[in-house]
Amino acid sequence: MATLTISDKERFLINQEGQDFSHEAKTFIKIRELALKNLKDLDFPTNKLEDWKYTNLRGISKIEFRPQSAINIIAAKVKAHKIPNLDAYTLVFVNGFFSAEFSDTAEEKDGNFVVTNLNTAKKKFIKFVEPYLGFQTRAKDQFFVNLNAAFSQDGAFVYVKAHQKLDKPVHIINLVDGDLVAAYPRNLIIADKLAEAQVVVSYETIDTASALSNVINEVFVAEGAHVQMDKIQNENGNTYHIGADYAVQHKDSTFTINTIPANGKLIRNNLSILLDGTGCTANLNGAICLNGDIHVDNQTYVDHAQPNCDSNELYKAVVNDQAASIFNGKIYVNKIAQQTNAFQSNANILMSDDAKANSKPQLEIYADDVKCSHGCTIGQFDDEALFYLRTRGIKESTAKKVLLEAFIGEVLDNIKIEAVRDYASALIAKNFNSKN
């Protein structure tokens, strides 16, 4: 009898099968087929790859994660993950599947915008979806990007028509409920010419002993459009979160993404911004405050493909206990991208002896009239400032909080929606203290 040996990856991929996508339009099935084909030649990234030097995901390949729709979702458990005082179009996804009963959509064909789930949009608004979906994620070499492209269950679809703006933000809530869940939510956000959109994406947990959230956000910012995205990662300590955010910007557009990785087991974020028109501004901010043994790895890539664009990156981390924060920021300036302004700053405060921070700026500049600056610092808590505050009668715990809030506050100030800023601040403040 012949024995058949299969690799961990192959077994993992077999576990992801069994979802029926045959009802989808051919154009979308093609995306999945291409991704499956790419996956044949790919494997889980290991430390041997330069971009994965500090984050090893081999362990995931042995876990029996599977797509699973949640049964019996309890309303109260979903509502607990709303952001207090946030007036928004709320779209709820559980384990990657759309949960219509907890969502409010805007689908009028002649409306100024569309807010719905991607599967609905693939049918009802195919002409809006087709030119964009998967356009930025054709990376042949990215295992998890292809994994999501192949198996994504659903996601949010936001389309703002030219010259229009969303009358309120969209809040996309992604929840996981159940053990060994593999969730592949995938959002597509399009702001047409001179349009405006604010999107909040949060990732949280109802309950799981082990889960994989493999997510993609794909954003298109047309000429003169403004998109702001706040990404809050607050899953439980049993969850691996591997995310990729893509944005392509056209002439004179602005895109801002604020990333707040607060809780989870392991979080990896890959941000890729393509500045594909002149006069663009991209803002990438990260407010990172970690305790326990969470491992967070933020990778950013800003491609200055056209002249006269600005990119501003500010990532700040407070790392407690045995937690680790990794930052790798790449800036690529094309030889035609004259008058580029690219700023990058990464500051880290280590709160304990076991806390770790790694920071690596990478600049590749082929134009000559360019202003680029980067700076990274890894330091301890400022004991001088702490002592100063305490001599004024401020308790040590209060003084620490005041100083850390001031440090992280510079990043959080970029969150323009007050309710979201308050929510993020509260998550962060919880992590100021040791979990040990």
Find the part of the chain contacting another protein (CB under 8 A) among 28-36, 73-81, 134-142, 400-408: 400-408
Is residue 421 within 8 Å of 280, Cβ to Cβ? no
Choosing from 36, 180, 389, 429, the residue that interacts with another protein (CB under 8 A) is 389
On whether the CB atoms of residues 181 and 212 are closer than 8 A, the answer is yes
Closest approach, Cβ 185 to another protein, in A, equals 35
Beta carbon nearer to another protein, 309 or 399: 399
CB of 8 to another protein, least distance (A): 47
Among 221, 317, 370, 403, binds another protein (CB under 8 A): 403
Please tell me the distance from the alpha carbon of residue 8 to that of residue 416, in angstroms, as a whole number: 44
CB of 334 to another protein, least distance (A): 35
Residue 60 Cβ, how far from another protein at the closest point, in Å? 38
Residue whose tokens read 């979702």:
73
Give residues with Cβ within 8 angstroms of 302, minimum separation 6.
273, 275, 282, 284, 311, 313, 329, 330, 331, 332, 342
379 counts as binding another protein under rule CB under 8 A: no
Given candidates 409, 422, 429, 430, which one binds another protein under the rule CB under 8 A?
Answer: 409
The residue (of 43 and 405) whose beta carbon lies closer to another protein is 405
CB closer to another protein out of 86 and 394: 394
Alpha helices in 181-306 (DSSP H): none
Q: Which residues of 130-146 are buried (b: 16+ CB within 10 A; e: fewer)?
A: eebbbebbebeebbbbb
Residue 362 CB burial class (10 angstroms; 0-12, 13-18, ≥19): middle
From 14-22, 43-51, 175-183, 390-398, give the range in contact with another protein by CB under 8 A: 390-398
Residue 402 near another protein by CB under 8 A: yes
Nearer CB in complex with another protein: 406/426: 406
Q: Number of residues in contact with another protein, rule: CB under 8 A?
A: 22
Q: What is the distance in angstroms between the CA of the first residue and the CA of the last residue of the chain? A: 53
373 contributes a contact to another protein by CB under 8 A: no
Cβ contact 396:390 at 8 Å: yes
Instruction: Tell me which stretch binds another protein (CB under 8 A): 62-70, 210-218, 282-290, 389-397.
Output: 389-397
User: What does the alpha-carbon distance between residue 182 and residue 343 come to, in Å, rounded to a whole number?
Assistant: 36
Q: Where do contacts with another protein occur on this chain (CB under 8 A)?
A: 382, 384-385, 387-396, 398-399, 402-403, 405-407, 409-410
